[in-house]
Chains A and B, each alone.
Chain A
Amino acid sequence: MRLGLVIDIDTCVGCHACATACKQWNTSGTTGPLTDYRPYGENPSGVWFNRIRHYEIGDYPNNKTINFPMSCMHCEDADCVTVCPTGASYKRAEDGVVLVDQTKCMGCNYCSWACPYGARELDRESGTMKKCTLCIDRIYDEELEEIDRQPACVITCPAHARYFGDFDDPNSEVSKLVRERAGMQLMPELGYNPTNRYLPPRLTTPIPTDDVRKTDLISSVKQWVNKAIAR
């Protein structure tokens, strides 16, 4: 098995619900708590397993806003695991999930240096490295109904932009999506062979704007007056 996520950047609306759901589930999960620093003070900060960034692709008028959620990619060649001096970081042979044993970690930060995707964050309170567990305490929990045995971020996504599954199974939904929509890896040139894939935006024809009716002078003045006069 090779478990991981597929993230559809065509449909992701950038609402940060996945990050919030992740924080909510995992702060009381196996590697919790996800400590917050100054939560109600100035410059609040803290540990997150999942962060969403926003980019502009292309130049106006052929540009597009892209929302970009990123968590651990559960790489096949995970350098964060090989550089770890204590053996706290490990990759499970049975499903490829990369985890940190909180009882062994000495907080040297070296694994976070080796990770190109910024997936690892030091908890300054516990002094240990924390990262996405792919909700390991959820996906194998037989107390839950089968549909709920998925990572919190996947279940919560309102745009249905996240998929969880086994990449080793060619007939799984994630494998099919990667095949059909040319799912890509991030920074493949570094050779980490990340498991998580991103589905690029679908090709769309631009909506023509040349034929949009121009407003005449009188209605322009009316619009201006309506804006200028405060009610």
Chain B
Amino acid sequence: MHPAFSVIFFTVTSGAGFGLFTLLAILHVFGLVDMTQETVLWAGIIGLVLVAVGLMSSTFHLANPKNAWRAFFRFKTSWLSREGVFAVLFYPFALLYLLGVFLQGAEINGFFKAMGILGAILAVITIFSTGMIYGCLKTIRQWNTALTPANYIFMGLALGGLLMVSALSYQDGADVMGVTGLTVTLLAIAALAKAVYYFWVAKVTGPTINTATGFTRAAVRLLDTGHTAGTFLTEEFGYEPDHSVVTALKTLVFALGFGLPILLLALVLAGQAGPGMALWATVSAFLGIIAERWLFFAEARHVVNLYHGAQHT
């Protein structure tokens, strides 16, 4: 698949924003971490801005954006529609929760607490829907697995955790050890799930050029595609990344996306570095997970490529 920058940017930033809000609401509402009003508001606003920027960039890949409002009307069957509905539904709950913190300080009443928790639940459902947009496609075996939505959720929460520690590092005398430990765990789970995914998609399964043409008892080779220049199909689905680039980027995913952030947070846990180190860990993780998302699209091979001569996907 052609890795469109707008969709890479959208899935990474909105995932991180939803992850940050989820952790913020849970840790704050259940009183697991002492947070000041200022910290909650700033973290909440950063989360909402990330989500908003991501959602806006997702409309950039539309060829006819004036009809984008119609995307909310096929909730019954379409995961893309569901994602849009849940993302918009998330906002009133998240804003009411932050309004409660703004009016009442860090100690909010039951109503605003409920708003925060409902917002967190909707945030996780939205990340799941984003993953299912890709996971439900039978045409792309690299996506059509339960690991796809799982990876989206784990990486969203891990990035959210890093942002949460970063936000807490600005609060004087905050106890960041608990959140840091949680974030290291989330990063480790995300790394493991991604490793399982790469192992899983390495094995070739699914349709071949033989089942695509119906000739299952003989070798089938492409003689001619019937067109001299590229078509929409070759431009959209024909992208074939360089093997060496893929290998290099996979190393980068694990080194920058998971390894270095875990190492830097371990320094914080061991008392060797201040909580400000979480900022560097966040920057590194964002770079690594953008590389992961680029690979997620670039490595996906659509079955229509079989008709253009690929023997398998």
Judge if A140 is at the interface, Cβ distance under 8 Å. no
C-beta contact mask, B216-246 vs A, less than 8 Å → 1, else 0? Answer: 0011111111111111110011000000000
Partner of A198, one of B72, B214, B229: B214
Q: Are B74 and A87 in contact (CB under 8 A)?
A: yes
The count of residues in chain B whose C-beta lies closer than 8 Å to any C-beta of chain A is 56
Judge if B5 is at the interface, Cβ distance under 8 Å. no
Question: From residue A84, how far is it (CB to closest CB) to chain B in Å?
Answer: 6
Judge if A27 is at the interface, Cβ distance under 8 Å. no
Looking at the complex, which of B58-66, B115-123, B159-167, B265-273 is the stretch in contact with chain A? B58-66
- Contacts of A122 on B, CB cut-off 8 Å? 63, 232, 236
Q: Are A87 and B70 in contact (CB under 8 A)?
A: yes
Q: Are B70 and A187 in contact (CB under 8 A)?
A: no
Most buried by A among B79, B80, B232: B232
Restricting to A139-161, which residues have a CB under 8 Å from any CB of B? Answer: none
Partner of A43, one of B71, B221, B230: B230
Q: Are A56 and B140 in contact (CB under 8 A)?
A: no
Looking at the complex, which of A45-53, A162-170, A209-217, A219-227 is the stretch in contact with chain B? A45-53
- Contacts of A206 on B, CB cut-off 8 Å? none
Within the assembled complex, what's the spacing in Å between the Cα atoms of A52 and B73? 36
Q: Are B211 and A106 in contact (CB under 8 A)?
A: no
Q: Are B226 and A106 in contact (CB under 8 A)?
A: no
Q: Are A114 and B139 in contact (CB under 8 A)?
A: yes
Partner of A126, one of B64, B74, B215, B307: B64
Q: Are A116 and B223 in contact (CB under 8 A)?
A: no
Question: From residue A130, how far is it (CB to closest CB) to chain B in Å?
Answer: 9
Judge if B81 is at the interface, Cβ distance under 8 Å. yes
Question: From residue A47, how far is it (CB to closest CB) to chain B in Å?
Answer: 7
Restricting to A32-78, which residues have a CB under 8 Å from any CB of B? Answer: 43-45, 47-48, 51-59, 65-66, 68, 70
Partner of A200, one of B212, B214, B225: B214
- Contacts of A110 on B, CB cut-off 8 Å? 78, 80, 133
- Contacts of A117 on B, CB cut-off 8 Å? 304, 307
Within the assembled complex, what's the spacing in Å between the Cα atoms of A19 and B225? 13
Q: Are B302 and A113 in contact (CB under 8 A)?
A: yes
C-beta contact mask, B77-97 vs A, less than 8 Å → 1, else 0? Answer: 111110010000000000000
Judge if A188 is at the interface, Cβ distance under 8 Å. yes
Q: Are B224 and A121 in contact (CB under 8 A)?
A: no
Judge if B101 is at the interface, Cβ distance under 8 Å. no
Most buried by A among B214, B222, B304: B214
18 A-B pairs (CB sep. < 8 Å) = A19-B226, A53-B222, A53-B224, A59-B219, A83-B77, A83-B78, A84-B78, A85-B84, A86-B71, A107-B65, A108-B62, A108-B80, A109-B63, A113-B140, A116-B139, A117-B304, A121-B233, A128-B63
Question: From residue A114, how far is it (CB to closest CB) to chain B in Å?
Answer: 6
- Contacts of B304 on A, CB cut-off 8 Å? 115-118
Q: Are B70 and A106 in contact (CB under 8 A)?
A: yes
Judge if B137 is at the interface, Cβ distance under 8 Å. yes
Q: Are B228 and A55 in contact (CB under 8 A)?
A: no
Question: From residue B200, how far is it (CB to closest CB) to chain A in Å?
Answer: 19
A106 closest partner in B (C-beta): B67
Restricting to B27-80, which residues have a CB under 8 Å from any CB of A? Answer: 61-68, 70-74, 77-80
Q: Are A56 and B67 in contact (CB under 8 A)?
A: no
B4 closest partner in A (C-beta): A109
Interface pairs A-B: 4 shortest CB-CB: A107-B63, A127-B64, A127-B63, A43-B229
Question: From residue A201, how far is it (CB to closest CB) to chain B in Å?
Answer: 9
Within the assembled complex, what's the spacing in Å between the Cα atoms of A88 and B140? 23
- Contacts of B80 on A, CB cut-off 8 Å? 83, 85, 108, 110
Partner of A188, one of B73, B211, B215: B211
Q: Are A68 and B213 in contact (CB under 8 A)?
A: yes
Within the assembled complex, what's the spacing in Å between the Cα atoms of A19 and B218? 27
B221 closest partner in A (C-beta): A56
Q: Are B62 and A54 in contact (CB under 8 A)?
A: no
Q: Are A107 and B62 in contact (CB under 8 A)?
A: yes
Restricting to A168-205, which residues have a CB under 8 Å from any CB of B? Answer: 184-192, 198, 200
